[in-house]
Structure 1
Amino acid sequence: MDGHDAENSKQSTADMTVFVQNLLQKMQTRFQAMSQSIISKDILRMGSRIDELEQSINDLRAEMGQEGSPSPSTSLKTKEDPKSAEDSP
């Protein structure tokens, strides 16, 4: 191997190193983007589930409140016009 071949070999090694570093950087960037996308989707899904749970809790509270108290229509009549509530059967 003469000096020219050794220099070409060093250049090839340097080129390959730069190529691999760039490839690894691209892979890391894509991995981070995919991870962020997955996390964002999971957060949205979790938020939706929390909203559904809150609605279920509110529905249960409403049902429990209705069992021990008069119907909402009677309560409204009483608040708006006490005579209407008294006149109703």
Structure 2
Amino acid sequence: MAETDPKSVQDLTNVVQTLLQQMQDKFQTMSDQIIGRNILTEHSLNNDNAVLKRLKEHQKNPKRVKVHREVYLKRNMKSFTLKRFPQ
């Protein structure tokens, strides 16, 4: 640290400016991360609300659920079979 000790007012000013810039960079990084988490959380909540809405719709019409389940299974089993056992 002795080599980097400021020798003049200008040196001290440069050290302080460097520290302030580092703090600003860290603050900006943290802010970006927090904003990113909020966006992801909001997106996740929107998806959860959509899932709940679909579940409520399916409760009203259970026959429709059965048809959707069968179509889903057929599509996924076909793709699983093709990936697992190519022809």
Q: TM-score range by the shorter chain?
A: 0.5 to 0.7
In the TM superposition, what is the alpha-carbon distance from 1:44 to its structure 2 partner?
1.2
Q: How many residues align?
A: 60
Write the deviation string for residues 21-72 of structure 1: whole angstroms up to 9, x where unpaired. Answer: 1011101111110010000111111111112111110110001111113415
1:5-84 matched pairs, under 5 angstroms: 16-69=8-61, 70-72=63-65, 73=67
Percent of pairs with identical residues? 13
Unmatched segments (≥5 aa) in structure 1: 1-14, 75-89
Gaps of 5+ in 2: 1-6, 69-87
Considering only CA atoms, is the larger Rg found in Structure 1 or Structure 2?
1
Computed over aligned residues only, the root mean square deviation of the Cα atoms, in angstroms, reads 1.7
TM score, norm. by length of structure 2: 0.61
- Flag as ranges the 4+ runs of structure 1 deviating above 2 A: none
